């Protein structure tokens, strides 16, 4: 799925301030990515949850179809700041685009696609949303929250192991939020998912709901279709960076399948917009899959912990964590390639995914012990107030 191919390192010979300007991040930037302090920019915060007409940036006016409306669901623009990573090549700067701070219960970059997809759902008179993903899908959790904000029910088909498909999925990570907001969860085994496919599964549920008098709107895995491309991630970001003023090539890391699969997938998405460009011209995709989707080595998790300890930035273990690990590994192995470059790394969120890794993370953290308070310190009942 497209979300598995995270946009990350964008090496530039330009000033990094270009990324703070309008019309360089993705289609949404025309109205929402204005990092200035004008009254118009400040007024955007009062547009939250509003539906408004959409006008594409000038470089995207030839794309078809163009969305007619968009919902304001995220807290945008998200900030950009210098990321003081350790052991960078000489004169290399890394800046961080904080889409993990986009709001919507830590929905990360997922909310950008949902702004377009849910606008279409409402326009079509839908009363509920269907989507599908892994058992800890950030996209599914973001969809459940955003749908409820718009008074829509959500139906989530979640992929899990055959040993757990008949058991209560619990309340870990994304599942806690999904179940709190009232999402209807249906489990499918990985084996059944592989044989049936996501499209057929969502169609089965759609037919069931239609027979029950509901009006469902189906969002594909990760929100990855041509309409969702208007909000990013790899396809939209690459297209916007290539056609806009930046004219830069995005470097991405895939965390499932392989680069060939994602080149073809991105090509299908941009062809759906009649963009007339070759995916391989606008994005370079490297493999950061490791042991597999949402499966981490101890080295990868140790890296995530070390980056948090060194910089205060918490990466998720499924997407941005693997992407940053791949970037830093390449910097260590090929420092000359990166020397003197300015890099913008897109943090796409996914913090809740860490809660599913607590057993693996436990040996990596410590720094605790019972406080030693000498017996000579005066003690009196009621002195310490527990607020």
How confident is the model at residue 1, as a pLDDT? 27
63 alpha-carbon distance from chain centroid: 24
**CB-neighbour burial class of residue 320 (10 A; exposed 0-12, middle 13-18, buried 19+):** buried
**Main-chain dihedrals φ then ψ at residue 325, nearest 5 degrees:** -60, -45
Structural domain includes residue 116 = no
Within a domain: 298: yes
Extract the tokens encoding 29. 């930037």
Domain that holds residue 204: 125-222
Question: Residues 164, 295: one domain?
Answer: no
Examine the domain organization and report whether 188 and 232 are in the same domain.
no
Q: Is residue 138 part of a domain?
A: yes
Closest to 266 measured CA to CA, from 309, 220, 226, 311: 226
CA–CA gap between residue 331 and residue 250 (Å, rounded): 16
- DSSP assignment of 110-176 equals HHHHHHHHHHHHHHTT-SEEEEEEETT-HHHHHHHHHHHHTT-EEEEEEEE-TTTTTS---SSTHHH
Last residue of a domain, one of 222, 255, 285: 222
Q: Are residues 216 and 232 in the same domain?
A: no
Q: 249 with 282, same domain?
A: yes
| Residue 245 and residue 331 share a domain | yes
Final residue belonging to a domain, choices 184, 201, 222: 222
Whether residue 137 sits in one domain with residue 200: yes
The domain that holds 250 is classified in CATH as 3.40.50.1100
15 part of a folded domain: no
Residue 380, in any domain of the structure: no
Return the pLDDT at 20.
25
Residues 173 and 313 in one domain: no
Catalytic: 137? Answer: yes
Residue 35 resides in a domain: no
pTM for the model stands at 0.88
Q: Looking at the structure, do residues 96 and 187 belong to the same domain, yes or no?
A: no
Q: Would you give per-residue pLDDT tens digits along the chain (387 residues)?
A: 222 344 344 444 332 222 222 223 345 543 335 445 455 555 555 689 999 999 999 999 999 999 999 999 999 999 999 999 999 999 999 999 999 999 988 889 999 999 999 999 999 999 999 999 999 999 999 999 999 999 999 999 999 999 999 999 999 999 999 999 999 999 999 999 999 999 999 999 999 999 999 999 999 999 999 999 999 889 999 999 999 988 888 999 999 999 999 999 999 999 999 999 999 999 999 999 999 999 999 999 999 999 999 999 999 999 999 999 999 999 999 999 999 999 999 999 999 999 999 999 999 998 889 999 999 999 999 898 887
Residue 60 lies in a domain: no
In this structure, the answer to whether residues 266 and 299 fall within a common structural domain is yes
Indicate the angle between helix axes 110-123 and 138-149, nearest 10 degrees.
40
Please check whether residues 200 and 130 belong to one and the same domain: yes
Residue 111, both tokens: 């909310």
Count the domains in the chain. 2
Say yes or no: 230 and 213 in one domain.
Answer: no
Same-domain check for residues 184 and 318:
no
The one catalytic residue in 4, 29, 102, 137 is 137
Element spanning 18, H or E: none
Q: Which of 179, 197, 222 is the last residue before a domain boundary?
A: 222
**146 part of a folded domain:** yes
Query: Phi/psi of residue 115, each to 5°?
Result: -60, -35
């Amino acid at each position: 799925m497209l979300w598995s191919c995270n946009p990350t390192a964008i090496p530039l010979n330009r000033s990094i301030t270009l990324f703070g300007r309008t019309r360089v991040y993705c289609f949404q930037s025309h109205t929402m990515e204005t990092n200035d302090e004008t009254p118009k920019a400040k007024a955007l915060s009062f547009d939250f949850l509003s539906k408004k007409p959409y006008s594409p940036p000038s470089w995207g006016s030839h794309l078809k179809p163009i969305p007619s409306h968009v919902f304001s669901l995220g807290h945008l623009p998200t900030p950009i700041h210098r990321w003081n990573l350790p052991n960078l090549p000489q004169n290399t700067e890394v800046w961080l685009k904080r889409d993990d701070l986009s709001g919507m219960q830590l929905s990360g970059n997922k909310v950008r696609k949902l702004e377009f997809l849910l606008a279409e759902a409402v326009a079509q008179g839908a009363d509920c949303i269907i989507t599908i993903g892994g058992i800890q899908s950030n996209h599914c959790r973001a969809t459940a929250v955003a749908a409820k904000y718009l008074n829509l029910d959500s139906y989530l088909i979640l992929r899990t192991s055959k040993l757990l498909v008949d058991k209560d999925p619990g309340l870990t990570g994304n599942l806690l939020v999904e179940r709190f907001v009232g999402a209807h969860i249906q489990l499918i085994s990985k084996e059944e998912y592989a044989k049936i496919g996501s499209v057929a599964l969502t169609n089965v549920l759609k037919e069931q709901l239609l027979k029950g008098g509901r009006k469902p709107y189906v969002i594909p895995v990760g929100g990855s279709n041509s309409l969702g491309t208007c909000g990013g991630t790899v396809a939209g970001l690459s297209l916007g960076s290539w056609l806009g003023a930046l004219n830069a090539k995005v470097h991405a890391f895939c965390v499932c399948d392989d680069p060939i699969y994602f080149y073809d997938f991105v090509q299908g998405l941009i062809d759906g917009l009649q963009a007339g460009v070759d995916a391989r011209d606008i994005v370079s995709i490297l493999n950061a899959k490791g042991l597999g989707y949402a499966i981490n080595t101890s080295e990868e998790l140790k890296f995530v912990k070390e980056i948090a300890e060194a910089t205060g930035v918490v990466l998720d273990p499924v997407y941005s964590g693997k992407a940053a690990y791949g970037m830093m590994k390449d910097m260590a192995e090929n420092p000359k390639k990166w020397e003197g470059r300015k890099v913008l790394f897109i943090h796409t969120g996914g913090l809740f995914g860490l809660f599913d890794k607590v057993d693996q993370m436990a040996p990596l953290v410590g720094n605790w012990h019972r406080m030693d308070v000498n017996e000579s310190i005066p003690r009196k009942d009621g002195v310490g107030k527990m607020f």
